[in-house]
Amino acid sequence: KQEVTQIPAALSVPEGENLVLNCSFTDSAIYNLQWFRQDPGKGLTSLLLIQSSQREQTSGRLNASLDKSSGRSTLYIAASQPGDSATYLCAVVDSGGGADGLTFGKGTHLIIQP
């Protein structure tokens, strides 16, 4: 059974720093991997989706990479801002691609200090 781990569980950095969030998964036979952002008391907002054939995706100050062979993905946030403070979750879809083949990590709670 797929397991998704996000380390660290919490991270606090000063504004302006570049930072990396990590996501690891135990079964490399995945269909895609998705990064989400969740603000307190809200739903999840999709940030980036990486298909298994891709190595990275970029959106603005965000860059997500995927290394299937090592079972890892990273989310790089450039020039962090206080508005980036949120919980970031990753989720993988297993290669069977079925609706139940989706596994979430527990997230990294990020605080950007002004």
Partner 1 sequence: DVKVTQSSRYLVKRTGEKVFLECVQDMDHENMFWYRQDPGLGLRLIYFSYDVKMKEKGDIPEGYSVSREKKERFSLILESASTNQTSMYLCASSFPSGNTGELFFGEGSRLTVL
Which residues of this protein are in contact with partner 1, per CB under 8 A?
31-32, 34, 36, 41-46, 49, 51, 89, 91, 93, 97-102, 104-107
DSSP state letter for 84: G
Closer to partner 1 at the Cβ: 89 or 112?
A: 89
3-state secondary structure (DSSP) of residue 8: coil
Closer to partner 1 at the Cβ: 80 or 105?
A: 105
How far is Cα 18 from Cα 20, in angstroms, rounded to an integer?
Answer: 7
Closer to partner 1 at the Cβ: 57 or 80?
A: 57
Give which of 48, 54, 51, 52 is closest to 21, Cα–Cα.
48
CB of 34 to partner 1, least distance (A): 6
